[in-house]
Amino acid sequence: MLNRAIYAMIYLGSALMVYNIYDFVRYTQYIQARKDWGRERAVLYVPLALLVMFLLGYLAVSIFGKPDLIVSGILFGGSIFVFIIFKLLWRITHHIQENEQTEAKLMAAEASNRAKSSFLSNMSHEMRTPMNAIIGLDNIALQDETLTPQTRDRLQKIGVSAQHLMDLINDVLDMNLIESGQMTLKHEPFSMREALGLVDLLLQSRCDEKGLEYKKEVLDGVEEVYVGDALRLRQVLLSILGNAVKYTPAPGTVTFTTEQVSAAEDRRELCFTIRDTGIGMEEDFIPRLFDSFTKEDAGTTDRFGGSGLGLAITKRLVDQMGGTIEVLSRKDEGSTFVVTLPLGAAKPPEGSAEEPAPECLPDLEGRRVLIVEDIDLNAEILADLLEIEGAETERAENGQIAVEQFSSHPVNYYDAILMDLRMPVMDGMDATRAIRALDRPDAKTIPIVAQTANAYEEDLQHSLEAGMNEHLSKPLDAERLYDTLRRLIGKLR
């Protein structure tokens, strides 16, 4: 009985060793097929030779020897050990291959994202350049007091349509930034009064145009200064308030309330409530409200337009800021959006009292502005917009000419420079660095404002690093251009 058990282990071990040899031959072929082994492939034959010798040892013991239980147990255990090692080797190799494939896919996705971002950045620049001409010329044309009412109405509709197209472009760019993980939030002090003031200014204008009543209230307890990203906060509020105006027929009401609901040592929590008396929505649609390209029905898209990205972007921004959005709505009874956001606590920045008050800012009458712009039409529009405010303008076709013109004139000859970023010969970044490096007192202080069709946050950062004071994206808003120049010149003078 014992001999049968001994020879059974010998025969089973031999059969298992034959399978191990077959399995290792397959593994060797698999490794060689990967073509990432050079001369090292020769080492794969060493274990194969050892396995063959192991098998021959089995045969020798079974034919010529008298195996006992210990020898047969060692040989059988060796076959099982090799079998287990091979299976682990296969598993490890497959895991390595899966990781390599995952890494390759990740690298391909990153390359695709970079290509998409580059494409969208270039397309943004190309689309914003003609849009700058359309909106700029439309603004200039509306200054003509001799326009007939019919012509003025058509020009205003052109402006509204152009702004709508710009909103679509901005939505696509923002969604791309969020999906690619490039959307970054600032963490800096800002004035809540100023942030809400800009929101109120825009909303009041939209409500007046549509015949709606706009009610705003800032409850006691809201502080003057917080720490966070004022630009993205305004974007969130304007997105929701803009929808409230869009989906509320006249006569209707849009109400905007701001309240500070909690305060810790270095953290504040604010609640922004937007109510409207508009068309509302079905309750079963609310869970899908923040999905991309989602509208309640096709008729809504036809009647009100939009990309279907605004609220999706808003939700992702609020999530990134660590806040929440709650929605209550009923069909034909209006909607209520409650946005709760955490913000940092801050003291008013030192020296803020020295900032010129809006009513004390200088006008642009007689100010001399150097326009650095390679496209003739854009330069003409900028000159016309500034001359409406009484400013004098000169033009440089590229950055190199701008540096030469600035250097050749007396100190303080120019009051400000409007600098395009993308230009031949020398771009705006290099021109700004060259001007800032000049050995004359006004080179360090003259306001230089970037005006470019590039709209990404990194473009803003790069322009500031180059020595520019502000970054205005095309198409330029005339009032924002005037306010920026007044403020920068006012601080300098």
Residue 32 carries which side chain, given as an amino acid letter?
A: Q
Residue recorded with tokens 């709209």: 455
CB neighbourhood size of 81 (10 A): 11
- The full DSSP string for 207-269 is HHHHT-EEEEEE-TT--SEEEE-HHHHHHHHHHHHHHHHHT-PSS-EEEEEEEEEEE-SSEEE
Q: What is the pLDDT of residue 319?
A: 93
- Residue 198, pLDDT above cutoff 90: no
The closest of 455, 378, 365 to 415, measured between CA atoms, is 365
Q: What is the mean pLDDT of residues 447-460?
A: 74
What's the pLDDT tens digit per position in 4-36? Answer: 777 677 777 778 877 777 877 777 777 777 665
Banded model confidence at residue 408, pLDDT cuts 50, 70, 90 = very high
- Residue 351, pLDDT above cutoff 50: no
Banded model confidence at residue 252, pLDDT cuts 50, 70, 90 = very high
What's the pLDDT tens digit per position in 47-66? Answer: 767 777 777 776 776 666 66
The closest of 45, 70, 66, 59 to 17, measured between CA atoms, is 59
Burial state string for 207-239 with b = 16 or more CB within 10 A and e = fewer than 16: beebebebeeeeeeeebebbbbbbebbbbbbbb
β partners of residue 188: 228
The CA dihedral of 156, 158, 160, 165, to the nearest 10 degrees, is -170
Burial of 345 (0-12, 13-18, 19+ CB in 10 A): middle
What's the pLDDT tens digit per position in 74-124? Answer: 777 777 877 887 788 778 777 877 888 888 888 887 787 777 667 766 776
Percentage of residues of the chain with pLDDT beyond 90: 30
CB neighbourhood size of 461 (10 A): 12
Query: How far is Cα 335 from Cα 274, in angstroms, rounded to an integer?
Result: 8
Q: In angstroms, what CA-CA distances link 346 with 125, 183, 231, 260, 272?
A: 37, 24, 17, 14, 19
Query: How far is Cα 169 from Cα 14, in angstroms, rounded to an integer?
Result: 72
Burial of 53 (0-12, 13-18, 19+ CB in 10 A): exposed
